[in-house]
């Protein structure tokens, strides 16, 4: 499985009582499918996977797989800092019918190079499904250097990609330059999708496409096609939205935006709480400008 194009890290809607809002979830899936998204990540960071129970994750994966019906791959966020728990959760995701796994690098434990390789090898050997490393040092407090990611790829034939959210283009280029033939790189920061693809990345796992799936899809396709002028125009158009999505911790802004667009209730699970009033005011200005029908001139 070669993972390419735009994959949305979809939010998880909750009802006012804090329970899963599956009807809103399926409507969000439909919006992604209408925009011809290449894949959907369920229960990643943007989906608040850290505060969703195992049974709820299984419910979400089952719902996504059954609703999407093969029209786009479903990628399950199953990573944790406990290798055994990750394997068990990954087996549950496979049983639900997902097409790939997103495996965040172990946090808090601070494993060494050999520990990281052993972690991914254990999952690779236990679960026969495409797997994606997720390197996000801003959340795990540990960057996984190119050398280690490449060692994981060499040791694990099921590990077919890395979601690189280090914001380090030099590191991304080193991975792309030395990657084995079965292994690709996906940008993990929306604003860096264009430069990453220009360096050889095959796509992106994105936040912005929760509410601008078509427009961001145009950028990704233009970048993959090598249409620099068109990609640059779209990139400049999207800059205010990139910034808005991270004015507070993700997914606080994107869920507020989706709420204001009438798509979900404005509910989080603790320890996440709603954006502060000043942030909401700035996001209201952003919401007023959102137009997923916008088309570049070039």
Tokens 């000043």 sit at which residue?
A: 278
Respond yes or no: is residue 163 known to be catalytic: yes
How much is the pTM?
A: 0.97
Crossing angle (nearest 10°) for helices 228-245 and 252-260: 100
- Which entry of 120, 134, 211, 256 is annotated as an active-site residue? 134
Average pLDDT of 154-174? 99
CB 47 within 8 A of CB 9: yes
Task: Give the pair of three-digit tokens for residue 137.
Answer: 């040092």
Residue-wise pLDDT tens digits, 18-74? 999 999 999 999 999 999 999 999 999 999 999 999 999 999 999 999 999 999 999
Q: In sequence order, what are the beta bridge partners of 104?
A: 134
* Residue 134 annotated to the active site: yes
For residue range 199-258, list pLDDT tens digits in order.
999 999 999 999 999 999 999 999 999 999 999 999 999 999 999 999 999 999 999 999
Residue 98 pLDDT: 99
Mean pLDDT of the chain: 98
Q: How many residues does the chain have?
A: 298
At 262 the pLDDT is: 98
Report the share of the chain in percent with pLDDT over 90.
99
Pairing of strands 100-104, 131-135: parallel
pLDDT for residue 75 is more than 90: yes
HEC assignment per residue over the chain:
CCCCEEEEECCCCECCCCCECHHHHHHHHHHHHHCCCCEEEECCCCCCHHHCCHHHHHHHHHHHHHHHCCCCCEEEECCCCCHHHHHHHHHHHHHHCCCEEEEECCCCCCCCHHHHHHHHHHHHHHCCCCEEEEECHHHHCCCCCHHHHHHHHHHCCCEEEEEECCCCHHHHHHHHHHCCCCCEEEECCHHHHHHHHHCCCCEEEECHHHCCHHHHHHHHHHHHHCCHHHHHHHHHHHHHHHHHHCCCCCCHHHHHHHHHCCCCCCCCCCCCCCCCHHHHHHHHHHHCCCCCCCCCCC
Average pLDDT of span 260-273: 98
Centre a 10 Å sphere on the Cβ of residue 3 and count the other Cβ atoms it contains. 22
Instruction: Say which residue the tokens 């990281």 belong to.
Output: 116
Distance CA 80, CA 43 (A): 12
Domains along the chain with CATH numbers: 5-228 (3.20.20.70)
pLDDT digits (tens, 9 = 90+) for 106-115: 999 999 999 9
Q: What is the pLDDT of residue 298?
A: 86
Angle (CA) 282 283 285, round 5°? 70
Parallel/antiparallel/unpaired status of strands 5-9 and 159-164: unpaired
Catalytic residue, chosen from 57, 69, 107, 163, is 163
């Amino acid at each position: 499985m070669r993972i390419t194009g735009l994959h949305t890290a979809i939010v998880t809607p909750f009802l006012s009582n804090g329970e899963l809002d599956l009807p809103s979830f399926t409507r969000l899936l439909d919006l992604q499918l209408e925009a011809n998204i290449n894949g959907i990540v369920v229960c990643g960071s943007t989906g608040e996977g850290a505060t969703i129970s195992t049974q709820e994750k299984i419910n979400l994966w089952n719902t996504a797989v059954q609703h999407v019906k093969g029209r786009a791959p479903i990628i399950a966020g199953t990573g944790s800092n406990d290798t055994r728990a990750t394997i068990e959760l990954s087996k549950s995701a496979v049983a639900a019918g997902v097409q790939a796994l997103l495996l965040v690098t172990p946090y808090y434990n601070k494993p060494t190079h050999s520990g990281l390789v052993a972690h991914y090898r254990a999952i690779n050997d236990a679960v026969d499904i495409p797997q994606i490393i997720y390197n996000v040092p801003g959340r795990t407090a540990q960057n996984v250097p190119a050398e280690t990611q490449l060692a994981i790829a060499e040791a694990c034939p099921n590990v077919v990609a890395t979601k690189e959210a280090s914001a380090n283009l030099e590191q991304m280029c080193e991975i792309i330059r030395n990657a084995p033939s079965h292994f690709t790189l996906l940008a993990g920061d929306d604003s860096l999708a264009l430069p990453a693809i220009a360096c050889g990345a095959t796509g992106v796992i994105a936040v912005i496409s929760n509410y601008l799936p078509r427009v961001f899809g145009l950028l990704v396709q233009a970048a993959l096609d090598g249409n620099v002028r068109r990609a640059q125009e779209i990139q400049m158009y999207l800059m205010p939205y990139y910034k808005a999505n991270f004015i507070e911790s993700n997914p606080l802004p994107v869920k507020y935006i989706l709420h204001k667009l009438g798509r979900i209730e404005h509910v989080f699970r603790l320890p996440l709480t709603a954006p502060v009033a000043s942030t909401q005011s700035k996001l209201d200005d952003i919401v007023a400008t959102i137009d997923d029908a916008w088309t570049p001139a070039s």
